[in-house]
Amino acid sequence: MSTTTRVAEAEARAMLRALELAGLGVRGANPLVGAVLLAPDGTVLGEGHHRGAGTPHAEPAALADAGDRGHDPRGGTMVVTLEPCNHTGRTGPCSEALISAGVARVVFAADDVNGPAAGGAGRLRAAGVGCVGGVEAEASQHLNERWTASVAAGRPFVTVKSAQSLDGRVAAVDGTSQWITGPEARADGHRLRALADAVLVGSGTVRDDDPRLTARGGPAVDGTSAGARATLRVVMGLTPVPCEAAIRGPGFVHLTTRDVRAALDGLFARGVRHLLVEGGPRIAAAFLRAGVVDELVSYVAPVVLGDGAPAFPDLGIDSLAAAPRWGLDEAGGPAVHRLGADVRLHLRPPPG
């Protein structure tokens, strides 16, 4: 077998591994991206994936992994599932990181469709780095189809979170809802908050629960964690928020509207790219009816309430045949995961 053939096969294997790594990431403000760094002879030097907003992108993570292993990236090939970014956001441009590291060649799957971040391949070529795109592009696009759709629509990526009983209730008949789920599930919910740009509840939730909506980093299913950061705390609704409400303070936003699209437009204009909708039930149902929910995270507790507030009221579904079937989503860990006595379901919207 010739050296050229051997290296080509190594790159093909590396791309499949990069796609596998990408699936370990969390959906949200950023696309799922994985990367594998190869030596000129095709030997793996390092690998990495993007773990969420504010963390290193896949390429710098792979470079760091190579450094931890004692490998020199100069002259190597970076195999990555998305065109390297070319802008400064929470982190610097991946294109510049690759140039500075002395990487000689980049093989990527899909083009970056995010306008501000696009153009990395052109920057790399201008610096003399060889670039090949379109390798396993369809697989990469499939991983990020919902993120791409939210970018194209000019709105935040929307995660809806619920905590409910076995029979789908979020509160008992007397209105009590704290706590349906146990401490492990609540800690995981705080991790979700820390990953999002904004957390949204309705004015009814403020009235009934007086939440702070603070974000504390917690352990993820894969053992990683998200540190606390400046997550906006958003109330949506026409009812005034009391001056003494716990949610008030720096980072508090009140959207005086019941229009989901208007709320998303307002948050996008504020720079929000990942929105976590926590409640209450009417707000969650409104986002579902609007067809803008990109993923659903549901914590189910082993308790039966028999009556009380349903998790998703008033969806306008009048028959079982008309009910959409959500699918299991393995991104960021198992789609079905036990947390103490509770179970977390990570679900993707029905196709179409």
Which residues form the catalytic set? 59
- 3-class DSSP assignment, residue 36: strand
SS3 content of the chain, % helix, strand, coil (to 5): 30, 25, 45
* Host H or E run for residue 12: helix 3-22
57, 85 Cβ separation under 8 angstroms: yes
110, 142 Cβ separation under 8 angstroms: no
345, 300 Cβ separation under 8 angstroms: yes
What is d(CA 81, CA 50) in angstroms, rounded to the nearest whole number? 11
Location of structure tokens 């705080």: 190
Mark 243-280 as b/e (b = at least 16 C-beta within 10 Å).
Answer: eebebbeebebbbeeeebeebbbbbbeeebbbbbbbbb
Among residues 2, 135, 120, 118, which one has the least CA distance to residue 79?
A: 135
Amino acid at 100: S
Omega before 218 cis (within 30°)?
no
By residue count, the chain amounts to 352
Q: How far is CA 33 from CA 73, 185, 218, in A?
A: 19, 27, 22
150, 158 Cβ separation under 8 angstroms: yes
Count CA within 13 A, CB hemisphere, residue 282: 9
